Structure 1
Amino acid sequence: MAVAEPIAASGPSWDPIVRITHWSVATAIVINGLIDEGGSTLHIWIGYGALAMLVLRLLWGFIGPAEARFSSFPFSLSAAIDHLTNVFSGHHKTHRSHNPAGSVMVYALWGMLTLTAATGVILETEPFPVEHRQQAMAQVDSHEDGEENELEEIVEETHEIAANLLLILAALHVAGVAVESRLSGRNLVRGMIRGQPTSRSQE
């Protein structure tokens, strides 16, 4: 699969929708993954908010500006490996959107966020705490209750595993951004805040 062509040394510019969805999802991951890990109302609504931001970002991947579109950052493991090899050997290139390694990480994060959100929605079809749902389930007969509880446990375990993997991927993403920023001489975090990466000489 073709890799996005390199552009000017300053790197890609990020539009407001990309920046808003990025930081909204990042905040949701931190709060729900590290601060409020239970099934509280806050946890549920933050999950819904993250899912809404994901849907918006995926839609933007079709109709947004060039840098935001999926065609600008295709998924390619071989290209990601080549990019990392070039970066660590001192031959860095900028791209019109996410670099190949970043592209793989983006799709991995989106995929895991989708799984986390989907299992969360299955567990909570209404925006109420887990205990309310469990109290309602307690009123069904014992046979049906056992089957539903078994299914619920599977979904809950999947949700927990997906959420933990999402945190791991997020941590790897942050580390990757730090390394890339260091080796390329561009502040990628500032780029996602201001819309345009800056070089060390511009800071």
Structure 2
Amino acid sequence: MPNRPLDDRPAPGPVVVWDRFVRVFHWSLVTCVVLNYFVLEGGKTVHQWVGSMALALVLARTVWGFIGTRHARFADFFPTPARLRSHLAHLRSGTHNPHPGHNPLGGTMVLVLMAVVLALGTTGWMQTLDIFWGEEWLQDLHRTMGNVLIGLATLHTVAALVMGRLERTRLVKAMLTGTKERW
């Protein structure tokens, strides 16, 4: 699709983007992160179970990233250097190159968030092993990564709201319904 200035957007209308699996994954992972960071105490059995659920969700999403529907596949939004340069150039110039699924920066955030959750799950699991039991550096690393995850999730949320305004797309609603609506 050709590059278009911000005032020459495609006509408004719904576009089916995110399948049920992606949406359930997204909101389930949000729930796990909120519970483990803001509600549950670290090191408790429930915290460990919720962390294990988050880890399982990311592993399932990784598989779905290769076999899922078009916009769920990593190939659809993988942030190659060329895609990132092009996207950033469009943002800087005030033009808009629509992306039905995630734009390259959004794709980068998806992969980084998933990697941080995997790292959190790994460091949490390591703390249950005899060899690492009580290791303060590991506990500090786990706690720091939890803080990084919250910072990245906040950035992700703000970026979704800002890009929704720039692209005139209801991104948050799309993650609930699976359909992007332009306005």
TM-score (norm 1): 0.76
2:68 equivalent to 1:64 = yes
SS at match of 2:95: coil
2:77 equivalent to 1:73 = yes
Q: What is the match of residue 107 of structure 2?
A: 103
SS at match of 1:21: helix
Deviations 1:25-64 (A, max 9, x none): 1111112112224222221111011111111100001111
Identity %: 36
Equivalent-residue separation in structure 1 for 2:133 and 2:50 (angstroms)? 25
Q: Is the 8 A contact 2:126 2:132 kept in 1?
A: no
Q: Is the 8 A contact 1:79 1:101 kept in 2?
A: no
Q: What is the match of residue 33 of structure 2?
A: 29
Q: Show structure 1 runs of 5+ residues with no match.
A: 1-7, 126-136, 138-146
Q: What is the match of residue 17 of structure 1?
A: 21
Larger Rg: 1
Equivalent-residue separation in structure 1 for 2:74 and 2:20 (angstroms)? 17
Among 157, 169, 178, the residue aligned to 2:161: 178
SS at match of 1:67: helix
SS at match of 2:61: helix
Equivalent-residue separation in structure 1 for 2:81 and 2:103 (angstroms)? 12
Q: Is the 8 A contact 1:12 1:97 kept in 2?
A: no
Superposition CA RMSD, Å = 2.2
TM-score (norm 2): 0.84
Among 41, 44, 48, the residue aligned to 2:45: 41
> Which segment is superposed worse, 44-53 or 93-102?
93-102
Q: What is the match of residue 96 of structure 2?
A: 92
Q: Show structure 2 runs of 5+ residues with no match.
A: 1-9
Among 135, 145, 160, the residue aligned to 1:162: 145
2:59 equivalent to 1:55 = yes
State how many pairs are aligned. 172
SS at match of 1:197: strand
Q: Is the 8 A contact 2:20 2:178 kept in 1?
A: yes
1:88 Cα shift?
Answer: 5.4
Q: Which amino acid aligns with 1:194?
A: T
In structure 2, do the counterparts of structure 1 residues 88 and 33 end up closer, same or farther at CA, with 3 Å as the change threshold? farther
In structure 2, do the counterparts of structure 1 residues 188 and 157 end up closer, same or farther at CA, with 3 Å as the change threshold? same
Equivalent-residue separation in structure 1 for 2:52 and 2:42 (angstroms)? 15
Equivalent-residue separation in structure 2 for 1:66 and 1:119 (angstroms)? 32
